[in-house]
Amino acid sequence: GESVGLHLPTLSVQEGDNSIINCAYSNSASDYFIWYKQESGKGPQFIIDIRSNMDKRQGQRVTVLLNKTVKHLSLQIAATQPGDSAVYFCAENKNTGKLIFGQGTTLQVKP
């Protein structure tokens, strides 16, 4: 079956450093990937997305990289801030509206 997985359940970084959160997916037919951020007690919040015809997409302080050869997706956060502390999910959307979420990586930012 299809699945989306993350490499590490927890990532701890120093404030100001860059963070890299990784995700692996198994379905090579996937065509749309999204990163969500979930703060404690809140619903997931859209960060950035990327389509399968792209390798890289940049937002404000965030970059998503897609490597279709190894079916790997990463989220890079520049100059990590305490407000970035949250659980980060990658998700796959095959244009059916059905989001398949990965397990989540908890990002802890140390002051």
Contacts with other proteins, residue ranges (CB under 8 A): 32, 34, 36, 38, 41-46, 49, 87, 89, 93-101, 103-104
Q: For the CB of residue 52, give the shortest distance to other proteins in the complex, in Å.
A: 12
Buried/exposed 50-89: b ≥16 CB within 10 Å, e otherwise: beeeeeeeeeeebbbbbeeeeeebbbbbeebeeebbbbbb
Nearer to other proteins, 76 or 93 (CB): 93
Residues 101, 47, 30: CA angle, nearest 5 degrees? 40
Q: For the CB of residue 88, give the shortest distance to other proteins in the complex, in Å.
A: 11
Q: For the CB of residue 87, give the shortest distance to other proteins in the complex, in Å.
A: 6
